[in-house]
Amino acid sequence: MTGKLLKTLWAGIPLLLSTLLMARETAPFDFYVLSLSWSPEYCVIRPEDRQCGRGYGFVLHGLWPQYEKGWPQNCGAEKLSKPLLQQYPALYPSEKLAFHEWSKHGTCSGLAPEAYLQLSQQLKQSFKTPVELDHLIQPLRINARQLSQSIVAANPHLNIEALAFLCTGGGRFLQEIHVCYDKQGVTPISCSSEMQRQSLKSCGQKDFLIRNVR
Ligand code: 5GP
C-alpha cells in the first residue's frame, strides 16, 4: 500500500467515527434493552431446536432500542450479511434469530451491522450469570427481588432498577431478563416505568420457577 493511500485512509477514520457517533445520537430512540432469554424455558416446547440439550443458560435474544413507552421496529432495509454474522458465531443461539433481530431491532439503532453486533457482543459478555443459576441442576424457586439481588451480586456494575423480567405460563416460569442501558449502550440505567410495571405484572407474584439447565 502506498504511503499516500495509507495517509488518506488514516485521515478518514475520525470522519467515520464521528459519523458513527452521530448516527447513534440521532437515531430516534431513548435507551437500549439487552434481552437475555433463559434457554431451558425456550426449549420446553422446542426440544428439537439446535440450541437445546447443550447446557445453555442465558442466551442473547437481542439488543433493542426502546422508547420510554414502546419501541421502534423495522427501521430500514439494510441486510445483515452472513459473512459478517459468521464473525460472531457464539453471539446468538441461532442464525435465524440473528437475522430477525437485526431487521426488527438493529436497524433502529442507527448503527451499521458490524457496530451493532459488536455492541451486542460487548454487552452480552459483560453480563455474568449468577453462580446459583450457572449449570442449574434442579429447578430454582425464587422471586423477582431475590433474582435481582443475585444478578446484582454477580454484576456489581448493575443495580436493581436496571433490571426487568419476563415470565411465562401465567407468571410461573422465568422466560427472559432485560437489562437497560443508556443510548450509547455504555451505562446501565433504570428501566422505564412502563417496563418496570410490565415486569411486576409478569413476574411479580410470590415466586416463580427457573427451569434447570439441560
Ligand atoms: P422479537 O421479535 O420480540 O425481537 O423476538 C421474538 C422472536 O425471538 C420469536 O421468534 C422467538 O421465538 C425468538 N426467541 C426468543 N427467545 C429465543 C431463544 O432463546 N432462541 C431462539 N432461537 N429464538 C428465541
Per residue in 60-88, pLDDT tens? 999 999 999 999 999 999 999 999 999 99
pLDDT (0 to 100) of residue 24: 55
Nearest ligand 1 atom to alpha carbon 59: 19
pLDDT (0 to 100) of residue 13: 47
pLDDT (0 to 100) of residue 4: 54
Q: The C-alpha cell of 89 is what?
A: 458465531
Domain range annotation of the chain: 32-210
The alpha carbon of 61 and the centre of ligand 1 are apart by a number of angstroms equal to 6
User: pLDDT under 70 in the chain at which residues?
Assistant: 1-25
Closest by CA to 173, choosing from 34, 49, 36, 42, is 42
Residue nearest to atom 24 of ligand 1 (CA): 61
**Cα 109 from Cα 113, distance rounded (Å):** 9
Is the CB of residue 104 below 6 angstroms from any atom belonging to ligand 1?
yes
Residue pLDDT, tens place only, 122-136: 999 999 999 999 989
Closest by CA to 186, choosing from 112, 101, 122, is 122
pLDDT (0 to 100) of residue 23: 53
- Most informative mutation of 61, 95, 100, 108 for ligand 1 (most atoms within 8 A of CB): 61
Give the pairing of strands 58-66 and 163-168: unpaired
The alpha carbon of 5 and the centre of ligand 1 are apart by a number of angstroms equal to 44
pLDDT (0 to 100) of residue 27: 86
* CATH topology assigned to domain 32-210: Ribonuclease Rh; Chain A (3.90.730)
Name the pTM for this structure: 0.89
Closest by CA to 153, choosing from 177, 134, 128, 125, is 128
Is the CB of residue 97 below 6 angstroms from any atom belonging to ligand 1?
yes
Report, as residue numbers or ranges, the catalytic residues: 61, 101, 105
**Cα 84 from Cα 47, distance rounded (Å):** 28
pLDDT (0 to 100) of residue 198: 98
Is the CB of residue 213 below 6 angstroms from any atom belonging to ligand 1?
no
